[in-house]
Amino acid sequence: MATFTEEQIAQLAPDASSLKAGRDLANEKKWPALHYNHRVIWGLAQGSGSQPYRTQVDQGSLGYSCTCPSRKFPCKHALGLLFIFARRPDLFQQSNAEPDWVEKWMNTREEKVEKAKAERLHPAIKDVKSKAKREAVRLELVKAGAAELELLLRDVLRSGLLNLPNRGNGFFEQAAARMVDQQANGLAQMLRQFTKINYSTGNAWHSEALEQMVQLWQVLQAFKRIDELPELLQEDVRSLLGWAPKQEEILADEQVLSVEDQWLVVGKQSSVENNITVVRLYLWGCQTGKAALLLDFIAPGTAPKYLFAPGMVLEVTLAFFPSQRPFRAIVKTETKTHNQLPRTCQEITDWSAAQTALAKDLSQYPWVESSLYFMQSLQLIHVEERWYLADTNQALMPLHPEFSEQQRWLLLAITGGHPCPTAVLRKRDAVVPLGVLVKEGYKSI
């Protein structure tokens, strides 16, 4: 039987109002029937109508179904069912015999999993000629866009980097729009990074702008010589241009890196880009010590693909996108989700070992923006008006500015100021703590 904390369930809520409504529904008086077995939780939720809503949650993947008209994912009834299951599992009657509506839904889910598995083993024959033609047309468009962007960067550098603030955000937005027209969305995203630089902080912006300029230049030069690069580095360059393979192609390719492990969800971050909610789930392989990133793109009115929260453990095989430095992944097999941490977990011992790992990554992939580490023992300390994370050797790593004061106090409250195993996201020369492992379990920050 899967067990999850209320904190983890709360992180599945699509918004604050759904969370409040879900908590309010965690009341046995509002559920005339509550049942569970090894694969599914289900119940009847009494609403305003004459017929109760039928709500069910897959214990393995946390997928859910409900007969209510809500367009939020998950709905308040699914959240309420999970909350009451976390608080009072004794209220649920164990039943191996499922009602027709539960059995049909679960069987359909399992059939989809088997069908997807069969399609990966025996993929349908694609129209290769048509695909090759589309790829050739796009290649010419991207080449033209890359050549145009190279000229723009040369002009910027000739006029001097100090004139960059005078160009304004509109200059880079216009250039980014041109890259979108040329089907080079990755280059457009890199250009938009210039609009996020704070040019009012004295000279602090110089290094950030120069680093971004160098990364763009490296991508353009690598693309010009892409045929000379190793195969996996070619995939990296295409991905940076916004030319990543489709997920179904990854799942059908037997050559991609696939890793089976118990994956601890160590972090979850959400942002809205062009009216699309982008959810980043950071995972750490407890046996392999491997880091992974799951991306979920959620359009308005659509359900999230992954209903995972920090602290959950996923027993699953991940398929990694082809790369010199495999990081982004997708779920390849049926997921078993639970809350029981393995007895042992591979960890990075100290900042020196983390630096060695970063140097290796940079030697293979020079465009590293962030690195995920699960550190053996870190302690939050304050030195000369700055906050740091100290390892067992008292080596220090500064906190990234995006880690807020409120988060610092939360970290201190959870750890009591003591050293703890800590998951961090390293960005340039600073780190963002994602969560810590304490006696009570894994706590996200």
Chunked into runs of 10 residues, the chain (445 residues) has average pLDDT values of 83 94 95 95 91 94 93 94 95 95 94 74 54 84 94 92 89 93 93 90 86 94 95 95 89 93 97 90 97 95 92 96 96 90 90 96 92 98 95 96 95 96 94 96 94
pTM for this structure?
A: 0.88
Write down the pLDDT at residue 61.
86
C-beta of residue 429 within 8 angstroms of C-beta of residue 398: yes
Distance between CA atoms of 438 and 377, rounded to whole angstroms? 11
The sign of the torsion formed by the CA atoms of 370, 376, 380, 385 equals negative
Query: What pLDDT does 126 receive?
Result: 47
Residue type (1 letter), 26: A
In the three-class reduction of DSSP (H, G, I as helix; E, B as strand; rest coil), residue 17 is classed as helix
Q: To which H or E segment does residue 175 belong?
A: helix 164-181
The contacts of residue 387 (CB under 8 Å, 6+ apart) are 380, 381, 398, 399, 408
Beta-bridge partner residues of 41:
36, 57
Report the length, in residues, of the chain.
445
Residue 402 tokens read as 């995006």
Cα distance between residue 378 and residue 342, in whole Å: 20
Q: Which amino acid appears at position 380 of this protein?
A: L
Question: Phi, psi at residue 363, to the nearest 5°?
Answer: -70, -25
List residues bridging with 431 in a β-sheet: 399, 426
